[in-house]
Structure 1
Amino acid sequence: MSKQSRIAATLFAASLVPVPVFASSDKAWDALRADVQAQCLAAVTETVESPKAVVDPFGSERFGLALVSGKAKGADRTVSYICVYDKQTKAAEIGSELTPDMLHGAP
């Protein structure tokens, strides 16, 4: 086999190797944001009444991120949680409760 044939065969073989696909179209980003929002809202249903999520438009390389806020169930106060969504497993995890004072930098 000539050198050119080997190069051509190598390039062809390399083109068959699967590579990860990253969300890059507007439609894919919209779908990711919708999933982050749904999973993060579901993760706080037992602790927050009528929660609202503010989703980071792109998150990090591995994670979707959101800030989820609402009225604490059984209390007359607003609480917030940081939600981390694993893009690979599609699982959401909630951090500890953040009070308004914590969010606004009160001592």
Structure 2
Amino acid sequence: MKTALALAVALIASGSGTANAASDDAWSNFRAEVSKACVTAAKGLIENGKALVDPFGSQSYGLAIVSGKAVGANVTVSTICAFDKKTRKAEIGGEISADKLTVK
């Protein structure tokens, strides 16, 4: 699981230098879109998810981590989400336990 955490951190950090000359409103709207799409994509895995969105994403993807109560269990889990900037669709990874990764 340390590998999953390292991957999540690397994915989130990779977008930190990709900001272009877009307006603050455009980036805010982008983050809101990524958050909504990622929380929606995670609904089969996570109830009432909360997303931590990379401020800018990578060149091709919006990136987020979604955390919340696991569906059908009384534990907190997280998942990594990639939002394709071209297709506007989000995909999630597998379940990561709260002792490894959690968005608060």
Same fold per TM (> 0.5)? yes
8 Å CA contact retained: 2:64, 2:81: yes
Specify whether residues 36 and 74 from structure 1 end up closer, same or farther in structure 2 by C-alpha distance, changes over 3 A only. same
Unmatched segments (≥5 aa) in structure 1: 1-21
Shift of 1:23: 6.7
**1:38 equivalent in structure 2:** 36
* Structure number with bigger Rg: 1
**2:95 equivalent in structure 1:** 97
Unmatched segments (≥5 aa) in structure 2: 1-19
* Greater RCO structure (CA 8 Å; 6+ sep): 2
The answer to which of 89-98 and 45-54 deviates more is 45-54
- Could you tell me the percent identity over the aligned residues? 53
SS at structure 1 position matched to 2:96: coil
TM-score under structure 1 normalisation?
A: 0.72
**1:86 equivalent in structure 2:** 84
Give the letter aligned to residue 53 of structure 1.
A
**1:58 equivalent in structure 2:** 56
